[in-house]
Amino acid sequence: MKNTLVLCSIILLSATGGRCQAVLDRFHDKARYRAEQRADQAMDRAIDKAEEAITQKPEKKEPGKGGKNETAHPVSAGDAFKSYSSYDFVRGEHVIYAEDFSQDVIGEFPMHWATNNRGEAVSIDGLPGKWMRMFIGEFVSPEIKKLPDNFTVEFDMLLTYMGSDEQDFGSMFPGFEWQLLQLAPGQESARLFAQGGNEVSKISLIVQPAYEDRSSIYVQSYSKRDMYFEGGNKDLRKFSNNYRKPFHVAIWVQKQRLRCWINEEKVYDIPQAIAPQTAFNHLGFLMADNNQEDNVGVFVSNILVSEGAADMRSKLITEGKLVTNGILFDSNSDHIKPESAGVLKQIASVMQENAQVRVRIDGYTDSDGEDAKNLDLSQRRANAVKNALAGIHKIDASRMETRGMGEAKPVADNATKEGKAQNRRVEFIKL
């Protein structure tokens, strides 16, 4: 079974050459900076080892509820979800665009994308799937159908210094942008080479390096090249400390409202960040100049754009059925990813407010892999969802049944990435 497509997204990595130069000038005390950064890295490695020891605890068996395949959620799951206790992102209901670069040849620039420099599809040791490595310049996605007023974008990123293991980014920490673009039809290539851009509208989340282990992120929004919104400068100390580790970006647009999360941390919730009547149709990434382009690795994968977000209460209580693609699992595993916390929390809230409601939890997979293995995997995933709701949110386990459906009853075409992402789902059926 292929790796789960998770996330969607929009990065165009950079903060203009002039801005980057101003940032580089602030790194006058590079020796002290690197010494402190190495100390932080040593501490991070120690913490990673401790976390690894914790997460390798054996699973507990739940006594005989839900069938022979059912096991309790791993002991460490509660700890993982604790860091996401305030995570309220909910993925949209219908997948519009999915990209994990699985169709691309290693070493070649990904099909369908456009750039004014170079990039390549790569695999990364220890991480599943393929990634697009981006060099200095701009990268524009293929056209996505006109995005509605309410949509979500997700993607995974990795930043790493690829030179000597004894070095870190130092002043080379890359500045970059995540962008949503509204381009006129057929203007993808023209935009890449236009001075000042030729977008109808654009919103950029700009990450730039700063002094002493800090990065900052701020928002710029344009309509017909005129500035509509600028501000929200935030310190991201944790962000720059955690390079060499994949991180998840989630963005939720509701008309003019913009919300953004990096891992479990909500970075922005701006009520009027986006110009009215904006209709985005592309994702963009921009990476700034640096002095060691080949040694700075900036990677993106698992891009997912979804339309609308489910009304949990209406879907489950009124309609009797809730379908979600927002409960995410590790590849070929029943381990729930912590970024599923927002969806699980909303479902738990509905069940807490409606104490008489009982549900059946149905797990589904796409068509990749063997039928029997998919059936078993879907059952284990349904069980894991039940155990998470019971163990973390204290929903009475007797109110929940589980059923694995495997690749049965697809709701979309398994021949497309978007269809597969739609078919990998969990359904809650009111009993």
Residue type at 128 in one-letter notation: P
Q: How many CA atoms lie within 13 A of 401 on its CB side?
A: 8
Give dist(CA 285, CA 139) in Å, integer. 5
Q: Tokens 């339309």, residue?
A: 307
Q: How far apart are CA 104 and CA 115, in angstroms?
A: 16
Contact at 8 Å (CB) between 34 and 170? yes
Residue 168: Cβ within 10 Å count: 20
Give pLDDT tens digits for 218-241.
999 999 888 999 988 887 766 656
pLDDT for 233: 81
Contact residues for 131 (Cβ-Cβ < 8 A; gap 6+): 101, 121, 122, 123, 124, 158, 299, 300, 301
Quick one: pLDDT at residue 289?
72
* Domains 17-38+89-309 and 312-430 fall in the same CATH topology: no
Q: Which of 354, 363, 355, 359 is nearest to 382 (CA)?
A: 363
Whole-number pLDDT of residue 263: 86
Q: Are strands 400-404 and 359-363 parallel, antiparallel or unpaired?
A: parallel
Question: What CATH number has the domain spanning 312-430?
Answer: 3.30.1330.60
Fold topology of 17-38+89-309: Jelly Rolls (2.60.120)
pLDDT of residue 43: 42
Closest CA to 336 of 81, 86, 31: 81
Angle CA 62–64–68, to nearest 5: 95
Predicted local confidence at residue 110, as pLDDT: 95
How many alpha carbons fall within 13 Å on the CB side of residue 302? 23
Among left, alpha and beta (phi > 0; psi -120 to 50; other), residue 46 is: alpha
pLDDT per position in the chain (431 positions), as tens? 434 433 333 333 333 344 334 333 443 344 343 444 444 444 444 434 443 433 343 344 343 333 333 333 333 445 667 778 778 898 888 899 999 999 999 999 999 899 988 999 999 988 889 999 999 889 999 999 888 889 999 999 988 877 655 455 555 567 789 999 998 877 766 677 765 567 889 999 988 776 555 678 899 999 988 899 998 888 776 665 666 788 899 999 999 999 999 988 888 999 999 999 899 999 999 988 766 677 788 899 999 999 987 677 778 888 899 999 989 898 889 999 888 988 999 899 999 999 999 999 999 999 998 999 999 999 999 999 999 999 989 999 999 999 999 999 999 999 999 999 999 999 999 99
User: Using CA atoms, how far apart are residues 209 and 252, in angstroms rounded to an integer?
Assistant: 25
**For the chain, what are the domain ranges?**
17-38+89-309, 312-430
Is residue 5 a contact partner of residue 420, using CB atoms and an 8 Å limit? yes
Q: What is the pLDDT of residue 173?
A: 65
Q: Global pTM?
A: 0.74
